[in-house]
Amino acid sequence: MIERFRQLVWNEWFWFPSEKGWGWKDLQNTDPNVYYPQLEDLHWTVFLGVVFLGIRYGYEHWHLLFYVSIFVYGIAILWNKPWFSETKYCWIGWPKQGIDRDVYWYYVLELGFYWSLVYTLAVDHKRKDFYEMVIHHLVTVLLIYFSWVLNFVRVGTLVLAVHDASDYWMAAAKMAKYINKQTLCEACFVIFCITWIISRLIIYPYVVLYTTTVETYGIVMDVTFGSHWFFNFLLYILQVLHIIWTFMIARIAMQKFTAGNIQQDVRSDAESDDEGEIEEETKSEKNDVTCTMQNSYVSKKFG
């Protein structure tokens, strides 16, 4: 029964273009000098997420440290990769594209961090966009897992790098708020808004989604296939979330222009209008501090 279920889930007709004759056999590791990704490579990231969660509660500046480090690391390892400058190389040679050790660790660290974000959903204060955050984190975990298994790793690294480009600016704004540097906080928020628009509303749709939607034809496939639809569906969900969060960011920016400073977090209101809940939330927000958007997505993705 288990074997039949496994065969159904990993059926090659869904995961590979039928006209090419490719299959799971093409991702078997037979050459000691070339490594292809395997499902079990990422299993231990579930426990790495627990470690990251512990660090988060023990170290106030953890998010800023991680965001800066992972973005710098990602750009450093991708800078000389051919697909970083020409996205068609995400697909040329697929599925037989060997994985370098630096890319493997990039995936491991990112997935471990996202697992920690999934865990925090159960204990963090519920914000207005709680369900959007749930969708975002689960979609991201699915994308990382399945892009690894199917060796869509090259385009996966681009997705991760684009999403890491703006988050550290919001984390920096939070830290500035902690030390009562309102001007620095607002400056970081402005830079965050600019990088958000460039990365999420320009580069992501016009570079990443373009290559996954259009450039795959003629290189990977002649006719679309199941996993092509599956991955693009998940990637487009992220773009919808980007648009939703952009409206939230715009609302915060408008507060600055109309009130002279940022008055409240767009996610700070509880789902319920219950007075007690709102009072409790206000107490929580005193400890959460962001550039007046305390723990907003804008504080973490992811996207």
* Residue 183: Cβ-neighbour burial (10 angstroms; 0-12, 13-18, 19+): exposed
pLDDT digits (tens, 9 = 90+) for 142-163: 999 999 999 999 999 999 999 9
Find all residues with CB under 8 Å of 161, minimum gap 6, and list them. Answer: 71, 74, 75, 78
Nearest to 231 by CA among 205, 206, 211, 212: 212
3-state secondary structure of 266: coil
Cβ proximity of 213 and 194 under 8 Å = no
pLDDT at 269: 41
pLDDT digits (tens, 9 = 90+) for 65-86: 999 999 999 999 999 999 999 9
Q: Which range is least confidently modeled, 75-79, 114-118, 157-161, 259-263?
A: 259-263
Cβ proximity of 58 and 64 under 8 Å = no
pLDDT of 89 over the 90 cut: yes
Percent of the chain with pLDDT over 70: 84
Q: Which helix (H) or strand (E) holds 65?
A: helix 62-78
Q: Rounded to two decimals, what is the model's pTM?
A: 0.85
pLDDT at 261: 58
Beta bridge partners of 221: 217
pLDDT at 292: 43
pLDDT of 265 over the 50 cut: no
Phi, psi of 217 (to 5 degrees): -70, 135
pLDDT digits (tens, 9 = 90+) for 210-254: 999 999 998 998 888 999 999 999 999 999 999 999 998 898 888
pLDDT at 218: 87
Cβ proximity of 106 and 230 under 8 Å = no
pLDDT of 302 over the 50 cut: no
